[in-house]
A and B are shown apart, each in its own frame.
Chain A
Amino acid sequence: EDEDEDHDEL
């Protein structure tokens, strides 16, 4: 799972 894509919001 791509962690970056998960938490790209503020």
Chain B
Amino acid sequence: MNIFRFSGDMTHLMSVLVLLLKIHTIKSCAGISLKTQELYALVFLARYLDIVTNFISLYNTIMKLIFLGSSFMIVWYIRRHRIVRRSYDKEHDTFRHLFLVLPCFILALLINERSAFKEIMWTFSLYLEAVAILPQLVLLQRTKNIDNLTGQYVFFLGAYRALYICNWIYRYFTEPHYVHWITWISGLVQTLLYADFFYYYFNSWKNNVKLQLPA
């Protein structure tokens, strides 16, 4: 494992921790898209089908368990927790899951590396992860006041994607036969979706003003 991959995993972990910290301590999920969180839960469920059958390393298994557990925990908090759910911005979080899930599933059926069930689910998870942030970005755009923790959550997620691209470039040059077009292209699309957010995030940080995305 190279430094980019490890840093990417750590920023991914940070993003989840920041979000759980916000929900657990402030008891608020204001500005957080339930749609995006449910899509992530589905992403991890589809991707980690091999968690019991395919052992790669202890690190890998533990991280998978953390991402699976935390994604379902966050969904539970927003839907079921009697205090947290009151702060959920239902009015503005209107993105339809199916508009993202269905095209991703069809695409996974059509374009995959191997047409085995687990492989198709893995590919589906890659496509879905690439676009799962969209409801969250739409919600951020509709939210007038983005609090610091929500901004940091999205920032860490974007950083994780950017570091994974560095990881792929590194692996391409250091490992023989390391070519994964599907992973790379969906990963690149996913990272590009953050470009706009990053622009405004850095501007607000540089000018020391509150983050706000233009409608």
Contact = CB atoms under 8 A, between A and B. Distances in A.
Contacts of A8: 56, 60
Interface residues of A, number: 8
B12 interface: yes
Contact of B54 (A1, A3, A9): A3
Contacts of B5: 9
Which of A3, A4, A6, A9 counts the most B-chain CB atoms under 10 A from its CB? A9
Q: Is the interface of A mostly helix, strand, loop or mixed?
A: loop
Contacts of A4: 54, 56
B64 interface: yes
B54 A10 contact: no
A8 B167 CA distance: 12
Given A6-B180, A7-B54, 18 more contacts: A1-B114, A3-B54, A4-B54, A4-B56, A6-B113, A7-B50, A7-B56, A8-B56, A8-B60, A9-B5, A9-B164, A9-B167, A9-B183, A10-B9, A10-B12, A10-B60, A10-B63, A10-B64
Interface of A: 1, 3-4, 6-10
What 8 A-B pairs have minimum CB-CB distances, sorted nearest first? A8-B56, A10-B63, A4-B56, A10-B9, A7-B122, A4-B54, A10-B64, A10-B67
